Structure 1
Amino acid sequence: MVNPNSNDAVTRGIDAALEPLRFAEGPEIACMTLAEGPFGVETQEDVESVTLPLARLVRERNDAAAFIIACYSDPGIHVCREATDRPVFGIAECGVLTALSRGERFGVLAIKDRSIPRHIRYLRQMGLMDRLAGERALGLSVAETASGTSTLDRMTEVGTELRDKDGANAIVMGCAGMAAHRKALEERLGVPVIDPTQAAVSMAIGTVALA
């Protein structure tokens, strides 16, 4: 699991969220930070800046059975898949596909308004616009989603709008920095809430186990 931003607090949050997926005799789940990445992947420029560093990392790490890109924009996913014969998962792709199995229409919690057009382009490429109920922004940075004291309250507010105003019956958290809040948010909203890092690791474990 590679966090392509350089914020170690985000990586620690992801690592903690994956604890339920660690079990005896199961594969090791290792989380790492891309040191040369921006502090938060929040713009298209940030996305493009980590593509080649991620590909180099994947190319060099032949000891891993699978790779996961822990950023909701799935930066570099196609070039990383070219760089290795091991499976490469993007958390956005995995999160959305998991949401489709939990509800008819899904909503996405974005960090900022400027993230939404980028996410919409990706969903359009995946051919999933008909299943999208809506996407709304928290107005927070990546760092704030990971450590902000009022983050859960803001996520609850926006998630409620996705559920009640947009008709979403499953919610995808659109940033790896939100990982620590999944369970509490699901309890507050009463609908399935998908942490895309957990979704991606679940898919990776299944793939590796059946290889």
Structure 2
Amino acid sequence: MMKKILVINPNSNPAVTEGFSDSIEALRLTSGPEIECITLEEGPWGIETQEHADSVVIPLRDLMLARTDADAFVIACYSDPGIEVCRKAVPEPVFGIQESGVFAALQRGERFGVIALGPKSIERHLPYIRHLGVESRLAAELPLNLSVEESESEGAFPRILQVARELSEKAGADTLILGCAGMARHRQKLENAIGLPVTDPTQAAVCQALGTVLLA
């Protein structure tokens, strides 16, 4: 049986799932493992507050426990909600896109900048950055002041580029992270426009999961 990586969108917006699924198409190898992207139907339409993040922890855990066909899991939300709970609940490896995205970005620059949805997102992200021990490498994290749904649209790109330039020119970031799974479709266009490495954290997490599963 072909091995499987299950990538879970903890919000209930299928357009976000479709967007990051498209962004990892190149990682779908004909020889496997299979990469399945699903939407958590119980989740909020967008995870934009701590309450939203807390509300998906138990549903995520229960979904992973039920999916005994998966060989690895990816939580496709930039605040990695429930990652410790899920890691304790299932024997398979669980990857969070914030953790994976940060460490991937650090391999491409000295100081990383994060493009966040809004101030409440930053409030969730910064304690986790400190937990990961990489606060000294963070140039800044700046908000788009957009919702998850708005950030996913093509019309969000000018604002994303504006914040990217602020991170580069004012904060000194030499590598950037898209701070929401919904921004996946903007990565290549932003990298071409800004001239700096741009990490899509879902791509980073799936790459790590892929290597883990292939070498198991």
TM-score for the superposition, normalised by structure 2: 0.96
3-state SS in 2 of match to 1:143: helix
Distance in 2 (alpha carbons) for counterparts of 1:48 and 1:142: 17
1:96 partnered with 2:96: no
Q: Offset at 1:113?
A: 1.4
1:86 partnered with 2:89: no
Q: Please list the CA deviations of residues 28-65 of structure 1 after superposition, one character each: whole Å capped at 9, or x if unmatched.
A: 11000000000000000000000000000011111001
Distance in 1 (alpha carbons) for counterparts of 2:75 and 2:207: 14
Distance in 2 (alpha carbons) for counterparts of 1:114 and 1:2: 22
1:158 partnered with 2:166: no
Which residue, 137, 149, 169 being the options, matches 2:143?
137
Letter paired with 1:109: I
Displaced runs of 4 or more, over 2 A: none
1:23 partnered with 2:29: yes
3-state SS in 1 of match to 2:34: coil
Q: Please list the CA deviations of residues 122-172 of structure 1 after superposition, one character each: whole Å capped at 9, or x if unmatched.
A: 00111111000000000100011112x421111100000001100001000
Distance in 1 (alpha carbons) for counterparts of 2:123 and 2:152: 22
Letter paired with 2:31: E
Distance in 2 (alpha carbons) for counterparts of 1:150 and 1:103: 28
Unaligned 5+ segments in structure 1 are none
Which residue, 114, 117, 130 being the options, matches 1:111?
117
Equivalenced residue count is: 210
Calculate percent identity across the aligned residue pairs. 56
Q: 2:18 corresponds to which residue?
A: 12
Letter paired with 1:81: R
3-state SS in 1 of match to 2:139: strand
Which residue, 199, 210, 213 being the options, matches 1:208?
213
1:73 partnered with 2:112: no
Letter paired with 2:32: G
Distance in 1 (alpha carbons) for counterparts of 2:213 and 2:195: 32
Which residue, 190, 201, 209 being the options, matches 1:185?
190
- Backbone CA RMSD of aligned residues: 0.7
3-state SS in 2 of match to 1:38: coil
Q: 1:171 corresponds to which residue?
A: 176
Distance in 2 (alpha carbons) for counterparts of 1:143 and 1:150: 11
Q: Offset at 1:117?
A: 1.6
Q: Please list the CA deviations of residues 149-203 of structure 1 after superposition, one character each: whole Å capped at 9, or x if unmatched.
A: 4211111000000011000010000000000000000000100000000000000
Which residue, 196, 200, 203 being the options, matches 1:198?
203
Q: 2:52 corresponds to which residue?
A: 46
